[in-house]
Amino acid sequence: MQTIRLKRLAVAAIAALATSAAVAQVIVTAPPPPRAEVVPPPRAGFAWDPGHWRWDHGRYIWIGGHWRRVRPGYHWVPGHWDQRGPNWRWVEGHWA
């Protein structure tokens, strides 16, 4: 019984470390400037999420803007790159 509990705790700890490592990814190369995008006309019930650069396997790739269904009572805060010293960290977009 004790062994099973310890194994479960170990698995949970490894999963937590893997999750935090993905969230806390730090990049030392600055992202390129944002690309100019043609924003489509407004759509009722949707908010525009602008395109952004994503770090993928050692390089930046462009992710085009897209519509997100509005959450009543909230506004969309787009994701952005945050610089801390020489490092860059991606902050996910979210509803606020």
Query: Using an 8 Å Cβ cutoff, are 50 and 37 in contact?
Result: yes
What is the structure's pLDDT at 15?
A: 47
pLDDT, tens digit, 9 for 90 and up, residues 24-60: 578 999 999 999 999 999 999 999 999 999 999 999 9
pTM of the model: 0.70
Q: With cut-offs at 50, 70 and 90, classify the pLDDT of residue 11.
A: very low
What are the boundaries of each domain within the chain?
Answer: 27-95
CB 21 within 8 A of CB 15: no
Instruction: Please determine, for residue 91, whether its predicted confidence score (pLDDT) is greater than 60.
Output: yes
**Res. 22: pLDDT tops 50:** no
Which amino acid is located at 49 in the chain?
D
- What pLDDT is stored for residue 25 in this prediction? 74
Structure tokens at 86: 């020489």
- Which residues contact residue 19 at a Cβ distance below 8 angstroms, ignoring those fewer than 6 apart? none
Q: Yes or no: say if 79 and 52 are a contact pair by the CB < 8 Å rule.
A: yes
Q: What is the pLDDT of residue 34?
A: 95
Q: Copy the structure tokens of residue 62.
A: 């462009």
